[in-house]
Amino acid sequence: MKRLILVRHGKSSWDNDLPDHKRPLKKRAYNDAEVVLNALDHFYEGGAQFWSSYAVRANETARLFKERLKVADQDFEVKEELYTFNQNELLSIIQSYSGDKDQLVVFGHNPAMTILVNSLGDKKMDNLPTTGLCVIDFDVDSWQDIRKGKTILTLLPKNLR
């Protein structure tokens, strides 16, 4: 079995005139991460590989999760190619994972995240909001074989406040 956890980056700031990939998190993103992590604490068992887009807002979100869940440095990787808004590219990157972990946590961007949640999972949503998290299980032995899975958990900040 493979477990994919997709997390959309936290709410980012548009206050500065920065390139898209350099936009930082807003204060709200830290509060949203806290409520999602409080709920995830009861579910997450550890042992996952963590991947994050290099965009500041995704990387900062991922590092909040890394710190709280006590993820080892060797299990945390920033991947430039995860800075994508295309679900096919995102799926291809996920399917390329060749490590030995059965859980993969990916921090990325919309619309790719929402479209992938809807195409891989069995529960549809209009939008995976910022700091939204979705867990999908696949009854396969290889990451290359993930196609259609079962959505087992969705955590949205607005539902947890």
pTM above 0.85, yes or no: yes
pLDDT in tens, 37-64: 999 998 999 999 999 999 999 999 999 9
First and final C-alpha spacing in the chain: 32
Task: Give 14's pLDDT tier (boundaries 50, 70, 90).
Answer: confident
Percent of the chain whose predicted confidence (pLDDT) is above 70 = 100
Q: What is the pLDDT of residues 99-143, one digit of tens each?
A: 999 999 999 999 999 999 999 999 999 999 999 999 999 999 999
> Average of pLDDT values for 72-79?
98
The predicted structure's pLDDT at residue 15? 83
Q: Assess whether pLDDT exceeds 90 at residue 77.
A: yes
At residue 89, the pLDDT reads 98
β-pairing verdict for 49-53 and 76-79: parallel
Q: Is the pLDDT of residue 148 over 90?
A: yes
The confidence score (pLDDT) of residue 115 equals: 98
* Percentage helix, strand, coil for the chain under 3-state DSSP, each rounded to 5: 40, 20, 40
C-alpha–C-alpha distance, residues 102 and 4, integer Å:
8
| Domains, the chain | 2-160 (3.40.50.1240)
Tell whether the model's pLDDT for residue 68 goes beyond 90.
yes
| Measured torsion, CA atoms of residues 146, 152, 154, 159, in degrees rounded to the nearest 10 | 170
Local structure of 159: helix, strand or coil: helix
Mean pLDDT computed over every residue of the chain: 96
Q: Give per-residue burial for 141-159: e unless 16+ CB within 10 Å, then b.
A: eebeebeebebeebbbbee
